Amino acid sequence: MKTECVKRAFKYRFYPTEEQAAELSRTFGCVRKVYNMALDARSRAWTVEHRRISYVETSSMLTEWKKSEDLAFLGEVSSVPLQQALRHLQSAFTGFFAKRSAYPRFKSRKKSRASAEYTRSAFRFRGGRLTLAKMSEPLDIVWSRPLPRNAEPTSVTASRDSAGRWFVSILVDDPSVKPLASTRGHVGIDAGLTSLVTLSTGEKISNPKFGKQDRARLARAQRDLARKERGSKNQEKARQRVARIHARITDRRRDFLHKLTTRLVRENQAVVIEDLTVRNLLGNRMLARAIADASWTELRTMLEYKCVWYGRELIVVDRFFPSSRTCSTCGLIRGRLPLHVREWMCKGCGTRHDRDVNAAKNILAAGLAVSACGAGVRPQRSTSGRAFGNEAGKLRKSTA
């Protein structure tokens, strides 16, 4: 039986000519315009007529918009990215009605990502040279890594970030992504700030704190930006300097997280993490900057799709499970454990615990219990506080 290949996006930087940059900039603007007009039409139809508009209806609207004198410029760019913008809006509404996401928002010229998606009919890929619709020359792409052999792109997304860098993301079927050989390894992960993650094996992986490393440089660039006259060319240059620093921080952080998550997925058959509500944690003004720099959400996202790719199991433990306060040896649940207490001694068995290592061990035990029998991970109320810990301890010893 033939297995279906995983669709994977390969992102590369490219350097457009002046004509290509102008064409792409026009396309980005038209994509944003069409998306916003379609969103406005759908919102008005629901508010006034209590009627939902489908993708097919917005596609018909796009045809009429192109015929009007005021919007004739929409016909000067490739029609495929405009149709894809309508499809993206349809996906956004589908997610909203399924209660997976918030109501779609209008795209901003200054804040929204500038991008355009081209499907197979709107680009040509031959001999490693990519040419987009409405362009006579191929893009000057820096092939930082090879595409899979005999790859046939199904879609291409061109984009420009706030730092002025141009990127192209090529979506292909990647046969190299397949389940890895089974392993006996299991790991529990406790996310933190001093140590980005602490593993149930006792290993602590320090937090690089890329944002903190460039904080002084970023502050100088932001002060310089604040002194520039609004709307001037110098202000735009200063803004791009700030954006380049942010891009450097983001790129370094993402590279580190990719290497870390790939290692964890390759070495372990099951990965257990805690279900953290990062949005709520960012409400802590004392820790918000450090939490944002740690990027726990991106860490979890990478673990999720890589576990799917490589045939591993990702188990998420309930956020209310007292992993730090539960003794991983005897199961006694301690009453209160302030954040500054990094080590504590169990009054039941006398074991001295490192707070983070103990939490990672409990997270692993809880996750394996869920995987084995589908039980809940929140401990049952008991007078001794040992109910969950004893079972978790037995399971941990049996899997050691």
Has residue 43 been placed in a domain?
yes
Per-residue pLDDT, 3:
55
- pLDDT for 282: 87
DSSP 8-state symbol, 341: -
3-state secondary structure of 171: strand
Same domain for 229 and 151, yes or no, is: no
Identify the pLDDT of residue 149. Answer: 87
Structure tokens at 270: 């099951």
Q: Which of these three, 154, 174, 194, is where a domain ends?
A: 174
- Domain shared by 296 and 375, yes or no: no
Residues designated as active site:
190, 274, 356
Exposure pattern of 239-270 as b/e (b: 16+ CB <10 Å)?
Answer: bbbbbbbbbbbbeebeebbeebbeebbeebbb
Task: Report pLDDT for 374.
Answer: 56
Considering only CA atoms, which of 172, 392, 191 is closest in space to residue 290?
191
Are 30 and 170 within one domain? yes
Whether residue 371 lies inside any domain: the answer is: yes
CB 295 within 8 A of CB 352: no
Per-residue pLDDT at 89: 97
Q: Which two tokens stand for residue 160?
A: 């420009």
Whether residue 85 contacts residue 34, with contact meaning beta carbons closer than 8 Å, is answered with: yes
Residues 33 and 47 in one domain: yes
With beta carbons less than 8 A apart as the criterion, state whether 172 and 10 touch.
yes
Both 71 and 192 in one domain: the answer is no
135 in the same domain as 100: yes
- Residues 239/241/246/250 CA torsion (nearest 10 deg): 130
Domain boundary among 146, 174, 202: 174
Q: Are residues 326 and 300 in the same domain?
A: no
In this prediction, residue 1 carries a pLDDT of 40
Contact between residue 8 and residue 154 where contact means Cβ atoms under 8 Å apart: no
* Statement to judge: residues 100 and 116 lie in one domain: yes
Report the predicted TM-score, pTM, of the whole model to 2 decimal places: 0.84
In sign, the C-alpha dihedral spanning 91, 94, 99, 102 is positive
Decide which of 262, 294, 316 is a domain's last residue.
316
pLDDT at residue 373 in the model: 64
Distance CA 226, CA 383 (A): 60
Cβ atoms within 10 Å of 332's Cβ, excluding its own: 18
Residue 1: inside a domain, yes or no? Answer: no
User: Within 10 Å of residue 49's Cβ, how many Cβ atoms?
Assistant: 9
Structural domain count of the chain: 3
Shared domain check, 21 and 168 = yes
Looking at the fold, whether 309 and 323 belong to one and the same domain comes out as no
Tokens encoding 103: 């109501």
Are residues 195 and 55 part of one domain? no
Residues 312 and 331 placed together within one structural domain of the fold: no
- 214, 249 Cβ separation under 8 angstroms: yes
For position 246, what pLDDT does the model report?
96
Contact present, 189 and 196 (Cβ < 8 Å): no
Residue keyed to tokens 């993708």: 55
How confident is the prediction along the chain (400 residues), in pLDDT tens digits per residue? 445 788 999 999 999 999 999 999 999 999 999 999 999 999 999 999 889 999 999 999 999 999 999 999 999 999 999 999 999 999 999 999 999 999 999 999 988 999 999 999 999 999 889 999 999 999 999 999 999 988 899 999 999 999 999 999 999 999 888 999 999 999 999 999 989 999 999 999 999 999 999 999 999 999 999 999 999 999 999 999 999 999 999 999 999 999 999 999 999 999 999 988 888 888 888 889 999 999 999 999 999 999 999 999 999 998 888 888 889 888 888 888 888 888 888 888 888 898 999 999 999 998 888 776 654 444 433 333 333 444 444 444 443 3
CB 196 within 8 A of CB 208: yes
Contact 156, 12 (CB under 8 A): no
Confirm whether 180 is domain-assigned: no
| DSSP letters for 21-41 | HHHHHHHHHHHHHHHHHHHHH
Give backbone dihedrals phi and psi of 187, rounded to 5 degrees, phi first.
Answer: -140, 140
Calpha distance 61→41 (Å, rounded): 9
- Give the domain extent around 130: 6-174
In this prediction, residue 336 carries a pLDDT of 86
